Amino acid sequence: ITIFKQVDAHFEEYLSQKSRMKEGFSDSSFARSSSGSSTGTDEGLFEQYEPLASSKGVTDKILWLRSSQMRDQQQVWQESPEGKRMLEFRSTLPAYKEKEAILSVISSNQVIIISGQTGCGKTTQIPQFILESEIQSVRGAACNIICTQPRRISAMSVSERVAFERGEKLGESVGYKVRLEGTKGRDTHLLFCTTGILLRRLLADRNLKGVTHVIVDEIHERGMNEDFLLIVLKDLLPHRPELKLILMSATLDAELFSSYFNRAPIMNIPGFTYPVKTHFLENILDMTGYRLTPYNQIDDYGQERMWKMNKQTPRKRKSQIASTVEDAIGAADFNDYSPQTQESLSCWNPDCIGFSLIEYLLCNICKNEKPGAVLVFMTGWDDISSLKEKLLTHPVLGDPSRVLLLTCHGSMASSEQRLIFEEPENGVRKIVLATNIAETSITINDVVFVLDCGKAKETSYDALNNTPCLLPTWISKVSAQQRRGRAGRVQPGECYHLYPSCVYDAFAEYQLPEILRTPLQSLCLQIKSLRLGSISEFLARALQSPEILAVQNAIEYLKTIGALDENENLTILGRYLTMLPMEPKLGKMLILGSIFNCLDPILTVAAGLSVRDPFLTPLDKKDLAEAAKSQFSGAYSDHLALVKAYEGWKYAEIDQGGYEYCWKNFLSAQSMKAIDALRREFLCLLKDSELVDNNAASCNTWCHDVNLIRAVICYALYPGICSVVHNEKSFSLKTMEDGQVLLYSNSVNARETTIPYPWLVFNEKIKVNSIFLRDSTAVSDSAMLLFGGSLSKGDADGHLKMLGGYLEFFMEPAVADMYQSIRREFDGFIQGK
């Protein structure tokens, strides 16, 4: 009652302040609180009483006061000159015209799907419409909107933009949260976060208590996390009838989502784009004066039709066509252009598509075309950086008074992000080298020219071979259209597709959803940690369910590595692994590295496994590169070679930046930097999950014990294991399931004639004609025996790769028996403890 009276008194005071304002009296305390940045008197009081305010009347009043404060603040901004200008800009966006319609559909439906072209204002406007309309309502301060983004960078840039549009700083009514970073205040009612963050929140708060709206953005991308989130939300909706779910997509194929959510209404925001003139490789080559002689052979479609008739999978067909085109271009006759271009085009390489052709086109645009920014879609970050390096040495493209050369990819710094949206000075042409992030999630306003290399890095997974890979693959037709569309936002534009039109015709219509093409291990762990029941039953409720075989493989893998027990329940290890958002094997490695106090080298190994191979092997300097790498070998381990290389780099970096060191040793400076950054990130995660305390030095007492590090690597990479079979002059390698396997030629172990260890553990096997192992480390019997998986022999079909099975497969029965009894004793000893 006392609290109620005090709040009541304050309520009166607030109202009288407000009426004085209206009469034209300025009041300093009110003005301060309406700017939102400082704590006004009201807020102090709320802070004091809110936790105590259990009576509904009090809560309502507090909400009313807050809402009314927010309303005032919104009004002050909207009436200011900058606010008016901003509103004017916003009202030009196609989404703005649909504002009322969207809000009314949201108010009368629990789920709605909104589609509209990229740049029409979905991400920046729709969450804002909801926020603004909630603020106008009586209980506005109770609204709590969460908008998920597939990538960190879009969550960060969009939240900043929306705060700016609302005349605020980040952390007031708009905030963001991504892994290890975020800004969110007490008054934040609209939070942009990555999908992963919302999934983590569900871990602690299954009903999303207090959340009023969930907006899932970019659902057309069909990322694994988004598909997963949709299953969880679909299950949650009946328990939270007042929760609104809004799905946003940049493509028009929203039917699938609508039928998944019980025929939820679809709203389409009509868009407008200017015509875009399209050039395919054949036209571009004509323009440049090249002749692509054997091109006609694939142009007549004969082979393509045959493939279609054979009903091969689109993936296989795609790769066949890709190699045909690569062959054709490889054999092309480029007589009338500079030797440099000939060279680069004649080794058409899916990883780096004709840099010289791109250079030629960019230069041509800069010299001869109308003003307008150029957006170049590249395969990945590594391509972008090597192209940038090349362009910076170009007389025109590298001249900062003529060209503003920027990059746009998932790991760019926020200062660089901002430059992308800004207009360059007069006479300077903006060129942005981007990954497919610029396809739908980031809109660069003034683009008029688009170059599209036709590829993107895609994780793919072959359930039959159980081998994942991250490879550049041809994009889908929808992606190609999206890329083209980027050129026609402000005026008629031009798009250069750097591949022939017949390749485009063979593109798949849509990209396969991630859940159907990647290993499901992390996803399975997440399902378990959210206690969502049986993994396969849960995944059967997905928008498109993954193959049963893929699910089984994942479950089996998790059992093999000890993350799940026989009954598919999380083990203690599994529980720790769910706290580390990374591949389970990397998590395992870090956990054991910290337990055994050899964390420093293990951080490097785990980081090294997550970035592009830092050891470069340029085709023309292969011998030199191999010689450079061999300095780091000696331990029969690619992983330990990397640790040596990194330590050398770190030492050189502190002194002179490390570039010369990289250059001398054929190392990629970018990969080294990426490893350095990841190491820091991993360490934070370990501290977060309390595996490492703040004094990280104590985790490093054994970091020079090479055999211990080997054992930890073995523990993490198991069951990626093969037996070393020595013969007279050299050795061969055998795995239990594939028989003979080979090493990649750049492995330090590939150059050895003998390996004085009985086993190699490897990070990855890849199937190209034969099966190749990438990144291996030799391990001893004792490491394998104690740190390989658990001892049992595996299931009846020999599926589970348990250690007992390995020992029996590869060893003389007597030796295997002896080893097994040692291990049993060891296990008994551990359990006894």
For position 521 contacting Mg ion by CB under 5 A, the verdict is no
Nearer to Mg ion, 10 or 122 (CB): 122
C-beta of residue 404 within 8 angstroms of C-beta of residue 428:
yes
CB under 6 A: which stretch of 123-131, 195-203, 495-503, 775-783 binds ligand CDP? 123-131
Place of tokens 């037996």: 723
- Give me the residues paired with residue 456 across strands: 473
Site string for ligand CDP, 383-422 (x = CB under 6 A): --------------------------------------x-
Nearer to Mg ion, 213 or 429 (CB): 213
User: What is the rounded CA–CA span in Å between residue 86 and residue 91?
Assistant: 9
CB under 6 A: which stretch of 4-12, 112-120, 510-518, 523-531 binds ligand CDP? 112-120
DSSP string for residues in 230-285 = HHHHHHHGGG-TT-EEEEEESSS--HHHHHHTTS--EEEE------EEEE-HHHHH
- Least separation in angstroms between residue 410's CB and ligand CDP is 16
Nearer to Mg ion, 123 or 668 (CB): 123
- Give me the residues paired with residue 460 across strands: 469
- Least separation in angstroms between residue 232's CB and Mg ion is 22
777 binds, among Mg ion, ligand CDP, none (CB under 5 to 8 A by kind): none
- Least separation in angstroms between residue 169's CB and ligand CDP is 15
C-beta of residue 173 within 8 angstroms of C-beta of residue 126:
no
Q: What residues contact residue 429 under an 8 Å CB cut-off, 6+ apart?
A: 365, 366, 371, 372, 373, 374, 402, 403, 404
Nearer to ligand CDP, 40 or 119 (CB): 119
Instruction: Return the residue of 32, 71, 161, 402 that touches ligand CDP, per CB under 6 A.
Output: 161
**Residue type present at position 26:** S
161 binds, among Mg ion, ligand CDP, none (CB under 5 to 8 A by kind): ligand CDP
- Least separation in angstroms between residue 474's CB and Mg ion is 24
For position 115 contacting ligand CDP by CB under 6 A, the verdict is no
Could you give the 3-state DSSP secondary structure of residue 226? helix
The sign one gets for the Cα dihedral 406, 407, 411, 417 is: positive
Nearer to ligand CDP, 151 or 765 (CB): 151
Q: Which string of b and e fits 520-532 if b means at least 16 CB within 10 Å?
A: bbbbbbbbbbbeb
CB under 6 A: which stretch of 121-129, 171-179, 498-506, 698-706 binds ligand CDP? 121-129
CB under 6 A: which stretch of 57-65, 117-125, 294-302, 506-514 binds ligand CDP? 117-125
CB under 5 A: which stretch of 116-124, 316-324, 475-483, 702-710 binds Mg ion? 116-124
421 binds, among Mg ion, ligand CDP, none (CB under 5 to 8 A by kind): ligand CDP
445 binds, among Mg ion, ligand CDP, none (CB under 5 to 8 A by kind): ligand CDP
User: What is the rounded CA–CA span in Å between residue 605 and residue 118?
Assistant: 39
Residue 193's CB is within 10 A of a number of other CB atoms, namely 24
User: What is the rounded CA–CA span in Å between residue 643 and residue 624?
Assistant: 20
Nearer to ligand CDP, 267 or 678 (CB): 267
Q: Among residues 526, 544, 522, 524, which one has the least CA distance to residue 536?
A: 524
CB under 5 A: which stretch of 85-93, 120-128, 395-403, 770-778 binds Mg ion? 120-128
For position 121 contacting ligand CDP by CB under 6 A, the verdict is yes
For position 68 contacting ligand CDP by CB under 6 A, the verdict is no
Residue 622's CB is within 10 A of a number of other CB atoms, namely 13
Nearer to ligand CDP, 153 or 508 (CB): 153
Nearer to Mg ion, 137 or 445 (CB): 445
The number of CA neighbours under 13 Å toward the Cβ of 707 is 7
Nearer to Mg ion, 199 or 269 (CB): 269
- Least separation in angstroms between residue 177's CB and ligand CDP is 18
- Least separation in angstroms between residue 257's CB and ligand CDP is 17
Residue 482's CB is within 10 A of a number of other CB atoms, namely 22
Instruction: Return the residue of 40, 116, 140, 562 that touches ligand CDP, per CB under 6 A.
Output: 116
Could you write out the three-class secondary structure of 122-163?
Answer: HHHHHHHHHHHHHHHCCCHHHCCEEEEECCHHHHHHHHHHHH
443 binds, among ligand CDP, Mg ion, none (CB under 5 to 8 A by kind): ligand CDP
Nearer to ligand CDP, 99 or 823 (CB): 99
719 prior amide bond cis, ω within 30: yes
409 to each of 154, 417, 464, how far by Cα in Å?
10, 9, 32
User: What is the rounded CA–CA span in Å between residue 328 and residue 297?
Assistant: 9
CB under 5 A: which stretch of 90-98, 114-122, 183-191, 410-418 binds Mg ion? 114-122
473 binds, among Mg ion, ligand CDP, none (CB under 5 to 8 A by kind): none
Site string for ligand CDP, 434-453 (x = CB under 6 A): ---------x-x--------
User: What is the rounded CA–CA span in Å between residue 798 and residue 560?
Assistant: 12
562 to each of 394, 545, 556, 805, how far by Cα in Å?
54, 25, 10, 16
For 642, the token pair is: 């990397």
- Least separation in angstroms between residue 611's CB and ligand CDP is 28
- Give me the residues paired with residue 246 across strands: 112, 215
Instruction: Return the residue of 33, 34, 73, 124 that touches ligand CDP, per CB under 6 A.
Output: 124
CB under 6 A: which stretch of 61-69, 114-122, 364-372, 459-467 binds ligand CDP? 114-122
For position 119 contacting ligand CDP by CB under 6 A, the verdict is yes
Q: What residues contact residue 18 under an 8 Å CB cut-off, 6+ apart?
A: 30, 68, 72
- Least separation in angstroms between residue 119's CB and ligand CDP is 4
Q: What residues contact residue 313 under an 8 Å CB cut-off, 6+ apart?
A: none
CB under 5 A: which stretch of 57-65, 91-99, 115-123, 428-436 binds Mg ion? 115-123
Nearer to Mg ion, 125 or 521 (CB): 125
Instruction: Return the residue of 34, 67, 115, 118 that touches ligand CDP, per CB under 6 A.
Output: 118
For 250, the token pair is: 């940049």
119 binds, among ligand CDP, Mg ion, none (CB under 5 to 8 A by kind): ligand CDP
- Least separation in angstroms between residue 249's CB and ligand CDP is 10
Instruction: Return the residue of 111, 114, 120, 264 that touches ligand CDP, per CB under 6 A.
Output: 120
- Give me the residues paired with residue 68 across strands: none
Q: What is the H or E stretch that residue 430 is in?
A: strand 429-434
Nearer to Mg ion, 95 or 357 (CB): 95
Ranked by CB distance to Mg ion, the top (closest) residue is 123
| Strand arrangement, sheet containing 174-178 | 181-183, 174-178, 190-194, 145-149, 213-216, 244-249, 111-116, 266-269
Instruction: Return the residue of 123, 183, 324, 518 that touches Mg ion, per CB under 5 A.
Output: 123
157 binds, among ligand CDP, Mg ion, none (CB under 5 to 8 A by kind): ligand CDP
For position 93 contacting ligand CDP by CB under 6 A, the verdict is yes
| Helix then strand then coil, % of the chain, to nearest 5 | 50, 15, 30
For position 586 contacting ligand CDP by CB under 6 A, the verdict is no
Q: Please count the residues of this chain forming the interface with ligand CDP, following the rule CB under 6 A.
A: 15
- Least separation in angstroms between residue 473's CB and Mg ion is 24
CA 677 to chain centre: 16
Question: Can you give the binding site for ligand CDP, defined by CB under 6 A?
Answer: 93, 116, 118-125, 157, 161, 421, 443, 445
